Structure 1
């Protein structure tokens, strides 16, 4: 599926490396205070005021992404609290029984599936429509994948996690159909659980088959998997019905880059080129070198660059600086490609 629909009309170079973010972004500090007021049972901060606050935050962050120069923007997930809780709260069949300890002093409000999961109302359409309405650039929609929604929940209703994941995949497909009807053309499925249980890649593949069923060809589907041993799911992921595979490699200094060289990687590559665990802004030169790592795997017309993962835990000025330098680096690499100054490891496809 062509990426040309995401190329800005005023793009300055012949080559085009798509720039975006994975999803989450630091929330304005005042939004956390507003959430506390809204969640306070004795407070008088109502749902309408909370919606206005989240709209304001989404507008600010969307414009911040555009100011940094990103080609495909996200609202920074301003309305979301956690990637599983947010969706489980909107799916019939889930319930919450309190947080569980996951590591150290960190707790996660792990939900339980107690009945058959059912689609009740849209999860993300209003969020997308608002962001699309305030954005001048295409909007990408990240959505937690069914395998992670199943794996990171207590399963009390289905025979096994495969059965639950496939049931959830049907719901994700229904939601994406509504997003597409609303105008969405770039959907990212987040499956971080696959990195911790790579032997289940076949389940993820089955779920993706259901997710993409009957979607128009022009809809771009990406899959984000982070912080795992990619050799345990490669080359199997090449069989997934996706356009783009999104990996974090900056954090590991690209030690796993060779995994994707044999057999040939024939999907589009979304490559993390800034490390979200480093609280400093990488230089343009460093990011340019990272981008060129991606050109060892795919030609530039199949390369997307982004941070390794969501940047919500970084200081907001650092997150912005990483994005801004990433865009500058991508545009400089494009100019050098146009001038024939960069040798591309992957063969450039004929137009």
Structure 2
């Protein structure tokens, strides 16, 4: 497309990217301004960087947005981009967005509102629970995309998610679990959703990161080999100092408790995972000097959230730290893994493990240990066992034992996790959650097979310390579930039936 003298249409939003190129922050600024627009909304990008002449049209083709026109006067360029196709533009596309918070759904609890503390129910021995995520109905996934793209209001999205949560909890109750989760129905994934809840942070498609890696073509090929839908997976981008002006997950617990009498568990991405996810060169360094700096704010917002979760009556608050496995296993095998956080800076394993331990303990300090849990697995983005990480807990167990949690919820059903006897080195006063079904297998395990795993765990840890669950979630990524709803329910039912033999 050749430059013209003037744009044929006025922009709805405009910003000046100066001399930034697409690999040094411009694409992130574009995403910041274009995501709030409705379909057909027009964004003007002003730039003095010559490489944008080629890179921006390529980005538009990659992301499905339309380059309407561009102008050039000396070094000054101005690009007019439609969010989606220009043909989608309607009268509504020119209407200003509602102010933040004006369209919050009925399940939102704004910070500062009075909250009556709720007592947390006790978690019994041999309690059965899912790890967290549950397959979303197709209409829930469609609502999620419509909300991100500005085609569905927050209120309508939350009401749709309420219905999906009711179905997820009902399925878990039918399976016979002792502790339910809300199925993470409101989240695009187990971790990156936090970007949509924090101030100065938002989700961007993984494809936007291609210009930031050293060899984009090789990276794309690796993603395809690892069975990763790069256009569907979104990654957090930080534009300024992180702040928490609304709950991250406390509203999920509030609603879940309103539709079940059973104890509720909630999962949060851990501070190390979030730090590795959010600290990326050429993105967050515009807001923070180092990953240690961003980690301080991540610890602060997680402590704020944890304090509120203690008041909601959550029976267990689970922190997910799967990137710990990437630290010790992917380098040894000299292959890339994919999980949120594995794409960013990594230092020698001993240094990374100590950093992760200290971040976790900084978040957990002072909170009731018996209500805190840590989950570690080896990746859960595909049912293909061959591309997931593999290795015993041996290089991790000492670090895990130094984290101040009251329970460890660990992948153990898959052969990739090694023998569970190494977990005897974990603190004797902590509970051990053992994965006894493999969510990646596309069939429900036999009750006898699961009962044998439970007996082995009882022999090692004692019945009173034991919790039972699948290795990981059934739908870690909303667009890429590991299995379907019926199979997920069948797998939980098998665990519940096997557990009954020991009660």
TM-score range, shorter chain: 0.7 to 0.9
- Establish whether residue 180 from structure 1 lines up as the match of residue 332 from structure 2: no
Contact 1:269–1:303 (8 Å) recurs in 2: yes
In the aligned structure 2, how far is the partner of 1:254 from the partner of 1:161?
Answer: 30
Q: Alpha carbon RMSD of aligned pairs, Å?
A: 2.3
Contact 1:224–1:245 (8 Å) recurs in 2: yes
Larger radius of gyration: 2
Aligned to 1:298: 461
Aligned to 2:298: 168
In the aligned structure 1, how far is the partner of 2:420 from the partner of 2:469?
Answer: 16
In the aligned structure 2, how far is the partner of 1:288 from the partner of 1:150?
Answer: 38
Q: Which moved more, 1:167-176 or 1:298-307?
A: 167-176
In the aligned structure 1, how far is the partner of 2:401 from the partner of 2:223?
Answer: 33
- Establish whether residue 239 from structure 1 lines up as the match of residue 402 from structure 2: yes
> Per the alignment, in what secondary structure is the counterpart of residue 5 of structure 1?
coil
Aligned to 2:144: 35
Contact 1:147–1:191 (8 Å) recurs in 2: yes
Aligned to 2:326: 196
Q: Which has the higher contact order (CA 8 A, sep 6+)?
A: 1
Cα deviation, residue 204, structure 1:
2.1
Aligned to 1:214: 366
> Per the alignment, in what secondary structure is the counterpart of residue 161 of structure 2?
helix
Aligned to 2:493: 324
Change (3 A) 1:329 1:210: same
In the aligned structure 2, how far is the partner of 1:66 from the partner of 1:136?
Answer: 10
Change (3 A) 1:4 1:180: closer
Aligned to 2:123: 6
Cα deviation, residue 263, structure 1:
7.3
Change (3 A) 1:95 1:52: closer
Q: Which runs of structure 2 are paired with 1:51-130 in the superposition (5 Å)?
A: 51-100=158-207, 101=220, 103-104=223-224, 105-107=228-230, 108-130=233-255
Aligned to 1:223: 374
In the aligned structure 1, how far is the partner of 2:493 from the partner of 2:361?
Answer: 36
Q: Which moved more, 1:263-272 or 1:224-233?
A: 263-272
> Per the alignment, in what secondary structure is the counterpart of residue 453 of structure 2?
helix
Cα deviation, residue 254, structure 1:
5.8
Contact 1:61–1:76 (8 Å) recurs in 2: yes
Q: Which runs of 5+ in 2 are unaligned?
A: 1-119, 208-219, 329-348, 379-389, 476-481
TM-score when normalising by structure 1: 0.84
Change (3 A) 1:53 1:98: closer
> Per the alignment, in what secondary structure is the counterpart of residue 323 of structure 1?
helix
Change (3 A) 1:327 1:121: same
> Per the alignment, in what secondary structure is the counterpart of residue 297 of structure 1?
helix
In the aligned structure 2, how far is the partner of 1:71 from the partner of 1:141?
Answer: 14
> Per the alignment, in what secondary structure is the counterpart of residue 136 of structure 1?
coil
> Per the alignment, in what secondary structure is the counterpart of residue 110 of structure 1?
strand
TM-score when normalising by structure 2: 0.60
Cα deviation, residue 29, structure 1:
2.5
Cα deviation, residue 293, structure 1:
2.5
Contact 2:438–2:471 (8 Å) recurs in 1: yes
Q: Which runs of 5+ in 1 are unaligned?
A: 8-15, 335-351
Contact 1:246–1:269 (8 Å) recurs in 2: yes
Change (3 A) 1:204 1:21: same
Cα deviation, residue 65, structure 1:
1.1
For each residue in 1:206-238, what CA deviation from the matched residue of structure 2 results, as whole angstroms up to 9, or x when unmatched?
122222233246x51000010154211122321
Runs of 4+ in structure 1 off by over 6 angstroms are none
Cα deviation, residue 266, structure 1:
4.9
> Per the alignment, in what secondary structure is the counterpart of residue 460 of structure 2?
coil
For each residue in 1:281-331, what CA deviation from the matched residue of structure 2 results, as whole angstroms up to 9, or x when unmatched?
001111111112322431111010100000122011110000011001011
Contact 1:152–1:193 (8 Å) recurs in 2: no
Change (3 A) 1:97 1:27: closer
Aligned to 1:289: 452
Change (3 A) 1:39 1:88: closer
Question: How many equivalent pairs are there?
Answer: 321
In the aligned structure 1, how far is the partner of 2:429 from the partner of 2:206?
Answer: 41
Change (3 A) 1:210 1:262: closer
Contact 1:295–1:303 (8 Å) recurs in 2: yes
In the aligned structure 1, how far is the partner of 2:312 from the partner of 2:424?
Answer: 38
Change (3 A) 1:280 1:99: same
In the aligned structure 1, how far is the partner of 2:183 from the partner of 2:292?
Answer: 30
Q: Which moved more, 1:183-192 or 1:98-107?
A: 98-107
- Establish whether residue 250 from structure 1 lines up as the match of residue 413 from structure 2: yes
